[in-house]
Structure 1
Amino acid sequence: MIFDLIKNRRSVFPVQYNNEPIAKGDIQRILEAANWAPTHKKTEPWRFKVLTGESKEKLGMFLSEKYMATETRPKQMKIKKLQENPKRAGAVIAICMQRDPKESVPEWEEVAAVAMAVQNMWLCCAALGIGCYWSSPRLISYMNEFFEMENGERCLGFFYMGHYDGNVPQVGRGAIEEKTVWLN
């Protein structure tokens, strides 16, 4: 049931991934789920760049080098994490947004549509037993130096995916009644 899937969806981080590869067919299914997100005026602003194989390692090197070049006091632990996380993942998907050239809808609606596409990906991963995590480091503002980007396209983060051993932790949420006002 969809409610159970929503309730049990969790962030699974690259450090938790095992080395089992993710089948290309599964990645395609995940992307197809993203493509069915709602979008105002059918702008479909989501764009994805899938990194597998050596491209993941290149991403890690780019991120760590850019971090060292832009940070006044780079931390060795952060450098290592930036290098290792892409390598640990079965795949990394750069989450990008292509702004509607006509600007027919406010930008926040385009960002929201991309976020809904990512939620679809997350739920699809949960259904397939694939761990995932959306990371949005400050370094995403430099991704036009790594990827070829269209005019008006920008990176909103990275969707790390990987198979994992064990169970994801159970978590709770505060009561919805504390977040809801009913008006009659």
Structure 2
Amino acid sequence: MSTLEKIIRERRSVKPSLMNGKKIIPSIIQQLLALADWAPTHGRTEPWRFIVFSGNGLAQFSQQHADLYKNHTPEESFTNAKYQNIIHNAEKASHLIAVYMKRQASQKIPLIEEIAATAAAIEHILLGAQEQGIAALWSTGGMTYHNSMKQLLGLEEHDQMMGLIYLGYSDEPSPPAKRNIALSEKTVWKD
């Protein structure tokens, strides 16, 4: 338990701008995906799906993501700084994994359970990355939840984008651990 506790407590979100550009070997990415594949899943639907970007594919996706922002944001809300940030966000990352929930045709399993299963798969990736000394960020920014992202990635109508996971290495120290609300305030015991 102490090893697992250490990994969980030390896991932090690291912005891609703080990554150093060092590349992760593909076999480690494959190991992270294999961990994700063991997430709990009601009815064994295994709804998690991954699209892995690296190298030129990552640069191309970043440009496409920025163009979605430019093309689908009202002029009064659009900022060039955000547009440029989306383009350059992944320059120091090694890989980006777009994660989505694949909705079963039967829709037998409640939607919330399929989303929760996919979120658990994402957490497995994040914990595995922490164990490997890999910096990670589960991002839902930019156009992640916009319908245009689903179209870009070829998702079907009832599929749900869950986020973009940026992975890389960082030379920055992790910030100290903290919780804003005491566990005792979030727990009710009934004997």
- Please state which band the TM-score falls in when normalised by the shorter chain: over 0.9
Q: Which residue of 1 aligns with 2:154?
A: 148
Structure-2 separation of matches of 1:96 and 1:154:
5
Instruction: Structure 1: state its 5+ residue gaps.
Output: none
Instruction: Structure 2: state its 5+ residue gaps.
Output: none
Is 1:120 aligned to 2:124, yes or no? Answer: yes
Structure-2 separation of matches of 1:46 and 1:102:
16
State TM-score, norm by structure 1: 0.95
Is 1:169 aligned to 2:171, yes or no? Answer: no
Question: 1:42-70 CA deviation, whole Å, 9 max, x = no partner?
Answer: 11000000001111111111111111112
Amino acid at match of 1:161: L
Of residues 91, 94, 111, the one that matches 1:90 is 94
Please list, as runs of the form range in 1=range in 2, the aligned pairs for 1:27-38 lying within 5 A after superposition: 27-38=29-40
Q: Which residue of 2 aligns with 1:57?
A: 59
State TM-score, norm by structure 2: 0.91
Question: 1:41-98 CA deviation, whole Å, 9 max, x = no partner?
Answer: 1110000000011111111111111111121231121011100112221000001110
Q: Percent identity, aligned pairs only? A: 32
Structure-2 separation of matches of 1:64 and 1:166:
27
What secondary structure does 1:123 align onto?
A: helix
Which shifted more, 135-144 or 27-36? 135-144
Is 1:181 aligned to 2:183, yes or no? Answer: no
What secondary structure does 1:88 align onto?
A: coil
What secondary structure does 1:164 align onto?
A: coil
Note if contact 2:99-2:163 (Cα within 8 Å) is conserved in structure 1. Answer: yes
Structure-1 separation of matches of 2:55 and 2:33:
18
Structure-1 separation of matches of 2:87 and 2:155:
22
Please list, as runs of the form range in 1=range in 2, the aligned pairs for 1:89-108 lying within 5 A after superposition: 89-108=93-112
Structure-2 separation of matches of 1:81 and 1:138:
9
User: 1:138 offset after TM fit, Å?
Assistant: 5.3
Note if contact 1:46-1:95 (Cα within 8 Å) is conserved in structure 2. Answer: yes
Q: CA RMSD in A?
A: 1.4
The runs of at least 4 aligned residues of structure 1 exceeding 6 Å deviation read none
Note if contact 1:59-1:86 (Cα within 8 Å) is conserved in structure 2. Answer: no
What secondary structure does 2:136 align onto?
A: strand
User: 1:151 offset after TM fit, Å?
Assistant: 6.0
What secondary structure does 2:12 align onto?
A: coil
What secondary structure does 1:37 align onto?
A: coil
User: 1:153 offset after TM fit, Å?
Assistant: 2.8
User: 1:28 offset after TM fit, Å?
Assistant: 0.4
